[in-house]
Amino acid sequence: MKKFAVIGSPISHSLSPQIHSLFAEQAQIEISYEAIEIIESDFNSKVNQLFEDGYSGLNVTLPLKEIAFHYADKKSEEALLAESVNTLFLKDSSVCGETTDGQGLLLDLQSKEIELKGSNVVILGAGGSARAVIPSLLSSNLNSLYIANRTSKKAVDIVNIHKQNNPEINQIEMDESINFEIDLVVNSTSAGTLGEELVLPEGIFGTKTKSYDLSYSEEITPFNLIAKKRGIKETYDGLGMLIHQAALSFETWNKFKPSTKDIEQKIRPL
């Protein structure tokens, strides 16, 4: 039986084991899929051990995607662009790293009929998941993409990576005012997951703005609650993205494309 796991910290909330076992049922294969707590300082030793113990593939989540990128011997084009890895596996004794987050987000936005072409998008956060989804957002013919992060330098660094090919990307400060209509706000910060307060740019929520929080939780996420309180009608959490990115990892590992239909209903309410 092939062994897989999702690694990160905190990890107990992860729904990845449930999702992958539903995919395995579809594929009619037997797998094991665990959620394993690993902190940044233990990454190399623990991941080496997991591969030595025969794990075929690992999903990587908060806060390990950037370390996983550096750990992988071979990286997909998308991972190189994003400098972020959420899928690790062994091939010909090399560790391969891919990122499926960006495509996962796009597929979920499509399924929710959220039009990106010509839109103004703000992404909050500049960590591993922001790095991962930004190339996909930039491939969607946006009118503008603004990145705001608590540590401004990280947002500036990301803008510098993409600016030459994508002049529509810019950085804004978390406490800056926005004076035009934003179509979509994507929250990629871990503030909600960590139970911390999040300062938001003034004017970020307009009358037509939609809110997409990469985090997901049993109740409405803290970020989407703020959005609702500010009058936002359409709010989404990241469960759909989680399912789509998981399906892409599953396909890479098991050469079987699972259907994502009805998976969200099966695992929600969480």
Q: Please count the residues of this chain forming the interface with ligand NDP, following the rule CB under 6 A.
A: 30
Shortest Å distance, C-beta 214 to ligand NDP: 4
Phi-psi region of 118 (alpha: psi -120 to 50; beta: other; left: phi over 0): left
- Sheet of 74-75: strand order equals 31-37, 2-8, 55-60, 87-91, 94-98, 74-75
98 binds ligand NDP (CB under 6 A): no
Binds ligand NDP (CB under 6 A): choice among 29, 196, 202, 230: 196
Shortest Å distance, C-beta 52 to ligand NDP: 26
* C-alpha–C-alpha distance, residues 119 and 194, integer Å: 30
Shortest Å distance, C-beta 127 to ligand NDP: 2
Residue 152 Cα distances to 45, 105, 126, 237, angstroms? 31, 24, 9, 25
65 is catalytic: yes
Nearer to ligand NDP, 167 or 229 (CB): 229
* C-alpha–C-alpha distance, residues 37 and 242, integer Å: 18
Active-site residue among 65, 255, 257, 266? 65
Nearer to ligand NDP, 54 or 250 (CB): 250
248 binds ligand NDP (CB under 6 A): no
Binds ligand NDP (CB under 6 A): choice among 2, 3, 154, 228: 154
Q: Of residues 25-84, which lie at the interface with ligand NDP (CB under 6 A)?
A: 62-63, 65
CB 214 within 8 A of CB 129: yes
Instruction: Say which amino acid occupies 89.
Output: F
Nearer to ligand NDP, 126 or 247 (CB): 126
Spell out, one character per residue from 205 to 244, where the chain touches ligand NDP: x when CB under 6 A holds, - when not: ---------xxx---------------------x--xx--
123 binds ligand NDP (CB under 6 A): no
Binds ligand NDP (CB under 6 A): choice among 189, 209, 211, 235: 189
267 binds ligand NDP (CB under 6 A): no
Residue with smallest beta-carbon separation from ligand NDP? 127
CB 237 within 8 A of CB 243: no
* C-alpha–C-alpha distance, residues 132 and 61, integer Å: 11
Residues in contact with ligand NDP by CB under 6 A are 62-63, 65, 101, 104, 125-130, 149-151, 154, 188-191, 193-194, 196, 198, 214-216, 238, 241-242, 245
Query: Which positions are annotated as active-site residues?
Result: 65
